[in-house]
Chain A
Amino acid sequence: MRFLRSLAIALAAMVGLTGAAAAEAPFIIVQSTTSTQNSGLLDAILPQFTEKTGIEVRVVAVGTGQAIKNARNGDGDVLLVHAKPSEEAFVTEGYGVERFDVMYNDFVVVGPASDPAGVAGMTDAVAALRRIAETEAPFASRGDDSGTHKAELRLWDAAGIDAAAASGGWYRETGSGMGATLNLGAAMGAYVLSDRATWISFGNKGDHRVLVDGDTRLFNQYGVILVNPEKHPNVKAAEGQTFVDWLIGTEGQAAIAAYKVDDQQLFFPNAD
């Protein structure tokens, strides 16, 4: 172990591109989800924060489940994800300081134009999923414990369908990110539950389109949490708090509202 440690230190010193070198400019690590990154939102708003505060924001974009696990290990200063029950558990268990609503958008069911299950135009997402299951039309699930996956599982639950039982049949669990799942869905003509932001900015839509939306159960809330410095002393609490305050403050909220792709607003700020 000691050898490993000294080897690592020697390495760090030789390369000179780590901790020490970067320490001059303060930075925080934000564990976030693929939807905020792939939609281009973070690329658009983070420079405004950095310009104002001089704090660089390094984003690790993974699924919500993995982001929470990473934050639990102390590998991040701020958590920005979309699975409210898991976020609240994260705070209750003492890993996070406090949770704040940041913004919302909604989930949509996208599918092929041919629409084999005939769900186009439905506004009842649960009924639509039930129809997909009944016709055994292919459905591609994230299957990765992400926020979107959790939302999808809640819908199947509400529909009273055990989709996992059909896994490998009409129900395909990709175990990968939103984009990878959309790529697969487009290629095999499968229905997919996606967050609207990722869908709008997605570049490989094929003949897929939004078939089901407008159900209140498709609401998608994002929250932000400062990782608890009492649990992990390495957490940069001051800088992290500055970021949380900015994000839920006037400027951050305005920056979120101003971000558009193809003239469509992707995220709607709703901090208190």
Chain B
Amino acid sequence: MSALSVSLRLILSGDPDLWEIILLSLRVSLFAVLIAALIGMPLGAALAVGRFPGRQVLLVLLNALMGLPPVVVGLVVYLMLSNAGPLGVLQLLYTPTAMIIAQVLLVTPIIAALTRQAVETLNEEYADQLRSLGLSRLGSVPTLLWDGRFALMTALLAGFGRAIAEVGAVIIVGGNINHVTRVMTTTIALETSKGNLSLALALGLILILIALSVNAAVALLGTTAQRTAYV
């Protein structure tokens, strides 16, 4: 109960530090999902329509990658971006960009695998029709993606859910630096370690609220768009 009242008070107070943290969380995770979608959707669709040796192995691999442990991804990205690593010269470690890179790696397999699933179903239904229109397998990808756009929203939301909720990767590559790379999940981890459990829980409630708002916004957009599409 105290966590609930603390979170309400935090939201209502309009605390600038809290808003900074919330906005950075959204910026990092939304951007990561955007990039992951640009990579994962075409990849997933291509895997859905393509027929080539080793495809089955790739599908299993892709599905397994959905369960990539964030802390391992964080460690790998840290080793790449560290000044002792191959990409150290970019000076990206402990920046929001590093966090985005880590989240892209986590989210891309999720979006690709769910896209593959959705597009494959559509393809089974429409393959003959698409072929009769003279479209090749790969040429039909844009049409299939567009047709499956509402199902693909779920893929995006699943990716966003993963990104906004994970702490293991961003705390390693971001360093949880105040006003620079501190996001909701790393703040919750920090407050827990300070023993401020009700504040940590309050921040957790706010994080859930953010995820809920994003999902509600997408659902609303989806319904509106669907209605227009069928008028």
| B83, B84, B86, B96: residue with the most chain A Cβ atoms closer than 10 Å | B83
Q: A18-B96, A59-B177 are in contact. Are A203 and B193 (CB under 8 A)?
A: no
Say what secondary structure dominates the interface of chain A.
helix
How many A-B residue contacts, CB cutoff 8 Å?
A: 105
For residue A84, give the distance in angstroms from its CB to the closest CB of chain B.
24
- The chain B residue sitting closest to A72, CB to CB, is B84
CB distance B94 to A202 under 8 Å? no
Docked Cα-Cα span, A15 to B27, in Å, equals: 9
Min distance, Cβ B83 to any Cβ of chain A, angstroms: 3
Query: In the docked arrangement, what's the CA distance between A9 and B175, Å?
Result: 20
Name which residue of chain A comes closest to B86, CB basis. Answer: A1
Contact B91 A234 (CB under 8 A): yes
> What is the minimal beta-carbon distance from B3 to any residue of chain A, in angstroms?
13
Q: Which of A128-136, A159-167, A178-186, A252-260 contacts B (4 or more CB under 8 A)?
A: A178-186
When the two chains form their complex, are residues B83 and A232 in contact, meaning their CB atoms are under 8 A apart? Answer: yes
Q: How far is the CA of A178 from the CA of B194 in the complex (A)?
A: 9
Partner pick for B195 among A29, A60, A74, A203, CB 8 A cutoff: A203
CB–CB B194/A234 < 8 A: no
Residues of B within 8 A of A205 (CB): 195
A-contact bits for B105-129, CB 8 A (1 contact / 0 none):
0000000000000000000000000
B82 touches A73 (CB 8 A): yes
- Which parts of B50-106 form the interface with A (CB within 8 Å)? 80, 82-88, 90-97, 100-101
- List the B residue with the shortest CB-CB distance to A17: B96
Question: Contact between B95 and A18 (Cβ–Cβ < 8 Å)?
Answer: yes
A29 touching B94 by the CB < 8 A rule?
A: yes
**A201 located at the interface, meaning its Cβ lies under 8 Å from any Cβ of chain B in the complex:** yes
Once the chains are docked, how many angstroms separate the CA of A216 from the CA of B180?
39
- Inter-chain CA distance A182–B197, complex, in Å, is 12
Is B5 an interface residue, CB under 8 A from the partner? no
A44 close to B (CB within 8 Å): no
Q: Verify B92–A38 contact, CB threshold 8 A.
A: no
Question: Cα distance A160–B193 when bound, in Å?
Answer: 31
A31 nearest in chain B by CB position: B175
Q: Do the beta carbons of B195 and A179 come within 8 Å of each other?
A: yes
A179 partner, pick from B83, B84, B92, B192, beta carbons under 8 A: B192
Q: How far is the CA of A110 from the CA of B35 in the complex (A)?
A: 48
Size of interface on B: residues with Cβ below 8 Å to A: 33
User: Are A75's CB and B94's CB within 8 A?
Assistant: yes
Contact B90 A9 (CB under 8 A): yes
Q: Chain B contacts of A29 at CB under 8 A?
A: 94, 175, 177
Instruction: Tell whether A59 pairs with B178 under 8 Å between CB atoms, given A5-B87, A8-B87.
Output: yes
Q: A38-B193, A59-B177, A203-B197 are in contact. Are A11 and B83 (CB under 8 A)?
A: no
Q: How far apart are A64's CB and chain B's nearest CB, in angstroms? A: 15
Given A8-B92, A11-B101, A75-B93, CB of A204 within 8 Å of CB of B195: yes
| Residue contact A34 to B193, C-beta cutoff 8 Å | yes
The reply on B25 being an interface residue by CB < 8 A is no
* Cross-chain contact A179 with B194 (CB below 8 angstroms): yes
Residues A15 and B196 in contact, CB atoms below 8 Å apart: no
- A11 and B35 within 8 A (CB): yes
Select the residue from A1, A72, A74 with max chain B CB neighbours within 10 A: A74
**A19 contacts the other chain (Cβ, under 8 Å)?**
yes
Which B residues are in CB contact (< 8 Å) with A43?
Answer: 178
> Which residues 162-212 in B have Cβ within 8 Å of A in the complex?
175-178, 180, 190, 192-197
Q: Does A189 contact B (CB under 8 A)?
A: no
Residues from chain B with Cβ under 8 Å of A37 in the complex:
190
Q: Of A17, A38, A74, A178, which is in contact with the most chain B CB atoms at under 10 Å from its CB? A: A17
At the interface, yes or no: B31 with Cβ under 8 Å from chain A?
yes
**Residue contacts A-B, CB under 8 angstroms, 27 given:** A1-B86, A8-B87, A11-B100, A14-B31, A15-B31, A15-B96, A15-B97, A17-B27, A18-B97, A19-B90, A19-B95, A58-B175, A58-B180, A59-B177, A59-B178, A60-B94, A61-B176, A73-B82, A74-B84, A75-B82, A75-B94, A180-B193, A183-B192, A202-B194, A203-B194, A203-B197, A204-B195
In the complex, besides A15-B96, A17-B95, A177-B193, 16 extra interface pairs with C-beta distance below 8 angstroms are A8-B87, A8-B101, A11-B101, A12-B97, A17-B27, A17-B96, A17-B97, A18-B97, A19-B95, A38-B193, A60-B177, A70-B82, A72-B84, A74-B83, A75-B83, A183-B195
Closest 10 CB pairs of A and B: A179-B193, A74-B83, A204-B195, A203-B195, A60-B175, A73-B84, A18-B95, A202-B195, A203-B196, A58-B177
